Amino acid sequence: MDVILLQLLNGLDKGSAYALIALGLTLIFGTLGVVNFAHGALFMLGAFCAVTVQRLLSISFETIDPDKVDFLGNPAKVKTPYVESWFGPEMGGAIVDWSVPIAILFAIPIMIAIGFIMERGLIKHFYKRPHADQILVTFGLAIVIQEVIKQFYGANPIPTPAPDAFKGSFDFGVLLGFDPNAVIYPYWRLVYFGFAAIVIAAVFAFLQFTTFGMVVRAGMADRETVGLLGINIDKRFTIMFGIAAAVAGLAGVMYAPINSPNYHMGMDFLVLSFVVVVVGGMGSLPGAVLAGFMLGILESFSSMNVIKSIVPGIDQIIIYLVAIIILLVRPRGLMGRKGVMED
Amino acid sequence: MLGLEKKDTSLLIIVAILTMFAPFILNPFPEGSALAQFNAGYPDLMQRFVIFGIFAIGFNILFGLTGYLSFGHAAFLGIGSYSAVWMFKLLGYNIIPGIVLSVITSGLFALLIGYISLRRSGIYFSILTLAFAQMSFALAYSVLTPLTNGETGLQVYNSDPQYFHSENMPNIPHLFGAKMQGTYSLEMGPWSFDFNTGYYLCAIIMLGMFYLAIRIFRSPFGLMLKAIKTNQTRMNYTGLNPRPYTLAAFVISGMYAGLAGGLMASMDPLAGAERMQWTASGEVVLMTILGGAGTLIGPVLGAGFIKYFENIFSKINDTVLHQWFAFLPDGMENFVITIIHPFVGKGWHLTLGLLFMAVVIFLPGGLVEGGQRITAALRRRAGRSGRSGDDASSTDTTPAE
């Protein structure tokens, strides 16, 4: 029982990342009908927002501390971040420590802006072109973004620690009456899951309860009619693209402490997220979220030793296997709507 | 000739001449001169030109003719490589069994994967093929280690049986004794030209494959594939089932990829799982699109183009740049170099990405379409200046749309 609980929890954080990326992909696909291969790159950009904010906050100046000497006997130089000298050591230290959550505030406007530029500058011209062209041009864009990041940040993963308050693990086992240390779960992953749930809920609430969201949903159902009613649907769809980019970016920001960001993390997630979207059903938002969590949890269950001893290697291929089976048995995906991308 | 139209024959002959004289053409600059780094006539690179040419020609039979975009073609390349190396391990270093087996196994895998994937089309097909390729990659890395040697890559060891290996045969891949790595260097003054056995073998095979591709393009079967790309619904209404045709195209292109993989292993008896990764599949897509999908010569051009510039660009470093721009005033020089720096050397992929985007946006027909536009523009100008413009539109290179 405790083993099952542990795997369930382990699946949640990856599942949250899949769900967030897949949600953004589906938003773009459902509104604009574009298959965005650069979405993984947006996720990666989010993670590098966190890196950048952390670096900016810890820019420091050197002072000579007369009390200390270094190993050569010279007076030691001490680095103090500027924020510490501005806000005092206590407050400044806290700001540096909390740089990843602070990065969220930076990431939202940046990612929305990037989304706007992408849509207006490039993707707008591809609505009338075949899907293959859309895939190819966004694939090219993904390569370009990836290489630019590599140019600036190098090829190595950059560790981006979470705030000290969230270091360490939470012992679920004690809470539920199991042995101590049976079900241990890092705090930050809990935070990630909670954050993902909030973002997903926010997106759904936005679409469900605001006039803007209503118009967007109407546009997803029948773009032409909404346009004929005198609503500028293109503008709203552009905004949705920005929001989708922001969702991917936020997923990346918060993922930075879990996996040190490197320039190809986006591509690694993209392939899986596409599979998630297809399993959930092209164009279905609840389907994307459901499939994201489902595949994340399935992946973590299949990496249990018991299961691996029965079917060796299953943990590596489970997601693809599920996707193949679903596509063949239920071509529309779990919750796909009729008439979306059907041939 | 050979059952080809005149245009196609001349195209084939041009390609044949180019590949046969490649050691001369690719080495136009004398050794040691400042421009020698633009030489591409060394055996390793030339082999890659033709092997990736074969890969891209095969991919084009699927994507160019039927419009089905496979994002998992590298799986067949990897499977081909693994089967060839296994043949080296079991039978000996003669490359014939290895190449034959690599074509057969990749064909079988293509039959299986194609049978399943081709039930869907469009983006679903792309994702299914991608899923299969990633699955093969993950399996080759982990569970199939006894077959693939995992991360180390499959290679031939001294303890391998090699049942048909005899003492007088070379201990590297060979064709009845002719070593694949054997190179004859021709020194002509400051120039030096390398004639490599492996390259010529690959080149001859590529010519054969190119000829086959022309025949497929011009056959009723090829026409059927083009019809699938143009309008599948209408084909269904005429009472034709497109599935067998697409499956045949998929298997053929998978076999091309397997052949390329087998040749790759024959040139360098090593097979690694990273050959199957989806970035490798992406590369062949880039080549085909860049050259011109659906055209005969496009994929070959694209493969050569990408491999050439990959080599040349990644060799250009800051020292070289300083040499080039030494004539500029100092400040200018540094400024220019700072601008160019991100695009060369390690930044080659950035240039490739930008170039690829530009091609998809402005030239959907690839380099071939670019060439056609230039020719058409020149012809129009010539026509205006007195001569009557002849409307003999080129038939051999029009995209199959």
| CA–CA distance, A256 with A104 (Å, rounded to integer) | 11
Confirm whether B297 is domain-assigned.
no
Confirm whether B371 is domain-assigned.
no
Higher pLDDT, A178 or B61: B61
Output the average pLDDT for chain B. 84
* Segments forming the whole domain that contains residue B59: 6-25+38-276
pLDDT at A265: 84
| For range A217-243, the mean pLDDT | 88
Residue B273 confidence (pLDDT) above 70: yes
Confirm whether B374 is domain-assigned.
no
- For strands A75-81 and B270-271, give the pairing: unpaired
Higher pLDDT, B396 or A127: A127
Task: Select from A136, A144, A271 the Cβ nearest to the Cβ of B130.
Answer: A271
Confirm whether B253 is domain-assigned.
yes
Domain count, chain B: 1
Higher pLDDT, B93 or B262: B262
Confirm whether B33 is domain-assigned.
no
Task: Kindly list the domain boundaries of chain A, sorted by start residue.
Answer: 2-329
| For range B206-218, the mean pLDDT | 92
pLDDT digit string (tens) for A151-161?
888 888 888 88
| For range A107-132, the mean pLDDT | 88
Contact: A125, B361; criterion CB under 8 Å: yes
- Report yes or no: A269 at the B interface, CB cutoff 8 Å: no
Band of residue B385 on the pLDDT scale cut at 50, 70, 90: low
Residue A142: list chain B partners with CB under 8 A. 353
- Report yes or no: B349 at the A interface, CB cutoff 8 Å: yes
pLDDT at A46: 92
ipTM value > 0.90 = no
CB contact residues (below 8 A), chain B span 47-86, against chain A:
67, 69
pLDDT at A112: 93
- Report yes or no: B235 at the A interface, CB cutoff 8 Å: no
| For range A321-330, the mean pLDDT | 83
Which CATH number applies to A2-329? 1.10.3470
pLDDT at B388: 47
Higher pLDDT, B399 or A333: A333
Residues 6+ apart with CB under 8 A from B253: B58, B59, B60, B61, B62, B70, B73, B110
How many cross-chain Cβ pairs, A to B, lie less than 8 Å apart? 108
Rounded-to-10 torsion of CA B326, B327, B331, B335: -70
Contact: A148, B122; criterion CB under 8 Å: no
pLDDT digit string (tens) for A46-103?
999 999 988 888 887 777 776 777 767 777 777 777 777 777 777 777 888 888 888 8
Task: Select from A147, A316, A321 the Cβ nearest to the Cβ of B142.
Answer: A316
Task: Select from B116, B342, B356 the Cβ nearest to the Cβ of A324.
Answer: B116
pLDDT at A339: 57
Band of residue B78 on the pLDDT scale cut at 50, 70, 90: very high
Confirm whether B102 is domain-assigned.
yes
Are B60 and B290 spatial neighbours (Cβ–Cβ below 8 Å)?
Answer: no
Residue B326 confidence (pLDDT) above 80: no
pLDDT at B391: 44
Residues 6+ apart with CB under 8 A from B219: none
Residue A168 confidence (pLDDT) above 80: no
Three-class DSSP labels, chain B: CCCCCHHHHHHHHHHHHHHHCHHHHCCCCCCCCHHHHHCCCCHHHHHHHHHHHHHHHHHHHHHHHHCCCCCCCHHHHHHHHHHHHHHHHHCCCEHHHHHHHHHHHHHHHHHHHHHHHCCCCHHHHHHHHHHHHHHHHHHHHCCCHHHHCHHHCEECCCCCCCCCCCCCCCCCCEECCEECCCEEEEEECCEEEEEEHHHHHHHHHHHHHHHHHHHHHHCHHHHHHHHHHHCHHHHHHCCCCCHHHHHHHHHHHHHHHHHHHHHHHHHCCEECHHHHCHHHHHHHHHHHHHHCCCCCCHHHHHHHHHHHHHHHHHHCCHHHHHHHHHHCCHHHHHHHHHHHHHHCHHHHHHHHHHHHHHHHHHCCCHHHHHHHHHHHHHHHHHHHCCCCCCCCCCCCCCCCC
Contact: B342, A151; criterion CB under 8 Å: yes
| For range B99-123, the mean pLDDT | 90
Q: How far is CA A64 from CA A68, A70, A77, A80, A90, in A?
A: 9, 11, 5, 11, 20
